[in-house]
Chains A and B, each alone.
Chain A
Amino acid sequence: MKHFLFLHLQSARQALHKILRQPFGSLLNLLMLSVALALPLSLYVGINSLQGWLGKLTASPQISLFMETSAEEADIAAVDRTLRGHPRVARYHFVSKAQALADLEKRNALTGLAEGLEGNPLPDAFIVEPRDAEPQALEMLQKELSGLPMVESAQFDADWAKRLYSLLELGRHLTWLLAGVLGVALVLITHNTIRMQILARREEIEVSKLIGATDSFIRRPFLYHAVWQAVLATLIAWGLTEWLVAIAGPAVSQFAQLYNEHVDLHGLRPAELLGVMAVSALLAMLGARLAADHQLRQIESS
């Protein structure tokens, strides 16, 4: 067991030395792999950041039920009774016209707004959270509630949110597609790198085989080379993604603030980074293994 670990440690060390001994060639390879990894990672980071914000928007769709300004206590009480017993209403709360005005003043720093107006122009309203968030059910409930007596309108403008949600869904699918395609690219790039290395060390491999080296002994340093490449490329890709977040983050936040929203682009979490590293290493090992097996067969038959 001790020897087994020693051999692995030795192969890992030799592979790392080999990468460091050829800094220029290694760097070019690493950059190629890093860019391939950075593309889906950046998309993932973007989608993930927006997903949190969108979650807040769409997690509990709401219907705003505005009463007519002439509605009286009894009308409000009637609507309240209807909502309380409604099977498709999960919860609701009442926002009086006075409270709405106070909120408006507070949010927009317009203290004394009502004093400049002839009375409070805002209506009483109910904020209704439906039990079913499915778009069709929401629309039916909206229509039904807008028909209640003394209800001016029932607003549920979810179209833009749905469009954004669809866009993010598309982005998510695109991330996976890109990750898949570039994962294959990673395998192919590693395959080619290792193939070239094996060709360059063909003589050494032939001699090693003649004096009793097993295929796994010959393959091991190449697999470690691929793993190091993948790990280093992931770290560079992570750096690129963080840089992108640092560059684009303020602009995105600023844009969101225009809509009174707070959106923060955040980079990969440590667990996500480790996950990406592990998947990259596995894909690189796959590429290296395929190349090594193919080349070993060729050497064997020559």
Chain B
Amino acid sequence: MIQFDQVTKRYPGGIDALKNLSFTIESGEMAFLAGHSGAGKSTLLKLIAGIERATSGRVMVNGHNLSRLRRSQLPYVRQHIGLVFQDHKILFDRNVFDNTVLPLDIIGFDRREATRRVRAALDKVGLGGKERVMPIRLSGGEQQRLCIARAVVHRPSILLADEPSANLDRAYALDIMELFKSFHQVGVTVVISAHDETLMEDYGRRIIRLREGQFAT
């Protein structure tokens, strides 16, 4: 479960990215974050992932109060979260397999189980058989799928995606959304930020709309 309780995030310079936000996303829920650039979507996702800390208020993720959690404990919370980045954050000096296996290495899976899981994740996102391919040889859509495979390979309880369909054509974007839907169907809490609301509306899920760091009315 993700719970925000009167959360404010202020960046140096006095810019309030989020203002006094309170909401809850239940376990196994799929929710969308909508809003224009600068609305606070990415900041909100960063707060859930513990990448940023709230200036005030309380952020609860899987029972952990991230505002009070020690820095050294944060990695263990992140190990239960899958992150899909808008800019993919793929390591271009490693092949598809090595990129995907990274979360499993971090958690400490043995090689045989890790290999099995990587293959399953790559099959799931449609990159089966491309384990040895270097990311530079993948298309933009395939790179996004690789990023998704890496985000789900360790079977996280929460999956956060920041503009996963940005820079993709509609058909590709729908494919990606279908992938997220399939993860949600197996019980993963999915939070996706996007600014194309038509894409979200097709799924009939909760949409949290943000404007200038607050809920949009």
| Docked-complex contact A3 and B150, CB < 8 angstroms | no
Give the chain B neighbours of A214 by CB distance below 8 A.
72, 75-76, 106
Instruction: Determine chain A's interface SS by DSSP, over half rule.
Output: helix
Partner among A6, A203, A206, A211 whose Cβ is within 8 Å of the Cβ of B106: A211
17 A-B pairs with C-beta separation under 8 A: A6-B110, A10-B105, A203-B89, A207-B91, A208-B102, A209-B75, A210-B78, A210-B85, A211-B103, A211-B106, A212-B75, A212-B81, A212-B107, A214-B72, A214-B76, A217-B75, A217-B106
User: Chain A: how many interface residues by the 8 Å CB criterion?
Assistant: 18
Q: CA separation between A217 and B72, bound complex, in Å?
A: 12
Q: What string of 1s and 0s marks CB contacts (under 8 Å) between A143-163 and chain B?
A: 000000000000000000000
| CB interface residues, A 195-244, toward B, < 8 Å | 203-204, 206-215, 217
Q: How far is the CA of A206 from the CA of B83 in the complex (A)?
A: 13
Please, what's the 1-or-0 string for B73-92, where 1 marks a CB less than 8 Å from any CB in chain A?
A: 00111110101010001010
Q: Mark B54-81, 1 if CB is under 8 A from A, else 0.
A: 0000000000000000011001111101
Give the complex CA separation of A212 and B103 in angstroms. Answer: 7
Bin chain B's interface residue count: 20 to 34
- List residues of chain B with CB under 8 Å of any chain A CB: 49, 51, 71-72, 75-79, 81, 83, 85, 89, 91, 93, 102-103, 105-108, 110-111, 150-151
Task: Point out the residues of chain A lying under 8 angstroms from B150, CB to CB.
Answer: 211
Structural contact, B110 and A213, CB atoms closer than 8 A: no
Complex contacts, B89 vs chain A, CB 8 Å:
203, 206-207, 210
Bound together, the chains give a CA A213 to CA B78 distance in angstroms of 8
Query: In the complex, A217 Cα to B79 Cα: how many Å?
Result: 13
- A203, A212, A214, A217: residue with the most chain B Cβ atoms closer than 10 Å: A212
Contact (Cβ within 8 A) A211 B83: yes
Q: For A206, list chain B residues within 8 Å (CB).
A: 89
CA distance A28 to B45 in the complex (A): 45
The smallest C-beta distance from A289 to any residue of chain B, in angstroms, reads 16
A229 to nearest B CB, angstroms?
21
Q: Is the CB of B102 within 8 A of A211?
A: yes
B85 to chain A, nearest CB (A): 8
Using Cβ atoms and an 8 Å threshold, which residues of chain B touch A6? 108, 110-111
Confirm or deny: A251 has a beta carbon within 8 angstroms of a beta carbon on chain B: no
Judging by beta carbons under 8 Å apart, are B108 and A3 in contact? yes
Residue A170, interface by CB 8 Å? no
Contacts of A203 in B (CB 8 A): 89, 91
